[in-house]
């Protein structure tokens, strides 16, 4: 992974958090229900995570395009693991 690509990936999370915060605050202001929006987005997030556990979803073309089909593969190199850990900080 190049330094340029790694920099782009590191910038995406804070940028999407900022944009997402503006989006969800607009939704809360329009609906007037903070608790309802928080509960619904949390439930949808949990459903999405549990959805990835279904075999039909794991073998779908979307999972392959997102790279989720290689999660059980043991051929990951040590460099890939280090690069992935760098991105999580």
**Structure tokens that stand for 30 in this block:** 């329009």
**Structure tokens that stand for 9 in this block:** 């990936």
Distance CA 19, CA 87 (A): 20
Dihedrals phi, psi of 73, to nearest 5 degrees: -75, 135
Query: What are the tens digits of pLDDT across the range 13-71?
Result: 899 989 999 999 999 999 999 999 999 999 998 988 887 777 766 666 665 656 555 55
pTM, to two decimals: 0.50
pLDDT, residue 64, reads 63
Residue 53 near residue 72 (C-beta atoms within 8 A): no
Residue 86 near residue 6 (C-beta atoms within 8 A): yes
């Amino acid at each position: 992974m190049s330094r340029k690509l790694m920099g782009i990936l590191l910038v995406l999370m804070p940028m999407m958090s900022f944009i997402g915060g503006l989006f969800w605050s607009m939704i809360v202001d329009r609906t007037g229900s903070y608790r309802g929006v928080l509960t619904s987005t949390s439930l949808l997030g949990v459903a999405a995570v549990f959805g990835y556990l279904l075999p039909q979803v794991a073998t779908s073309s979307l999972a392959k395009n997102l790279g989720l089909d290689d999660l059980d593969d043991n051929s990951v190199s040590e460099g890939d693991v280090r690069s992935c850990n760098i991105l999580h900080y």
